[in-house]
Amino acid sequence: MRTQVVSPLRQRMIEDMKARNLGAHSQRSHIDSCKRFAAFLAQSPETATADDIRRFQLHLVESGLSIPNRNRIMTGVKFLFRVTLRRLDLAAEIYHLREPQRIPQVMSPEETRRVLAVATSLKARVALSLGYGCGLRASEIVRLKVKHIDSAQKIIRIEQSKGRKDRNVMLSPEMLDLLRQWRKVRPTRDDAAVAPGERWLFPGRRRGRPTTTRQLSRLFHEAADGAGIRKGVSLHTLRHSFATHLLERGSDIRIIQALLGHDKLETTARYARVATGMIANVTSPLDLLSQPRKKPTRKPGKKPDPDEKGPAPA
């Protein structure tokens, strides 16, 4: 068994990230980015120059990486120079590109109904229903515990999700009924050693761990294929569809923002661009041109405006 040796520079960077309370995903991403930069240099990043950073950014372009991936990599490298190495002059050489704004992929209500109807198991139907019925991310679904389901207040509590934020979402009667059905058949092999409220809603194959987002994604694609969905959809499409369908039915956009856990209203407002029901009901100004123009009518008893011109004198 070979023990991996951590270099002093990487150890300092790990300590800096922990001190700033970065999440595990961000830490892994930053380390991977710096490993990629070091492999490009073929030496320690401590020896890097401004020209090395310029050449590395050009290398990423030539590698065909997408703009979001290039920005992600350079964010990790910038953390190394700005925080760990204290090389603000080199950190200033790093630029980020404006990412292309794409509208999210959304399924129609009928397509969503078909996906949930053909789910291969009760576990799949309950998990996918949480994605669509509550607007949950895959990571939020797999991390749900029994204590998060509050049937008395009819809410589901999401703890420390993206951005380390808590929020509540609605617990509909149909969703509650599905959860009660799942409780009767849910695997209980790990329950003996765990307090009732701390038990995973969807236990995984690994002892003491929940099911993985990868398994959840596989269940979704099986259901989507069975429902005959041919457009490029993913498990996250259920969350997009949740927001879009609420907007089309007239829900307040700020309520949707709170349910999704968005910091900025602009993030939620993008669903207005894919709400086909709302878009289709907008009257085009072209149609208004062919309609007879309405003449303004004066209300009975209203005195004429002294500024208005009366009939010309005889």
Which residues have a catalytic role annotated?
Answer: 137, 162, 236, 239, 262, 271
Phi–psi pair at 59, nearest 5 degrees = -60, -40
Contact 13, 30 (CB under 8 A): yes
Contact 254, 272 (CB under 8 A): no
Q: CA dist 81 to 38, 59, 61, 86, 134, Å?
A: 13, 19, 21, 6, 41
What angle do the packed helices 213-226 and 109-117 form, to 10 degrees? 110
Contact 91, 170 (CB under 8 A): no
Phi–psi pair at 38, nearest 5 degrees = -65, -40
CA nearest to 210, candidates 190, 239, 182: 190
Q: CA dist 289 to 51, 278, 282, 310, Å?
A: 60, 21, 15, 30
Helix, strand or coil, per DSSP, at residue 135:
coil
What's the CA gap between 7 and 29, in Å, rounded? 17
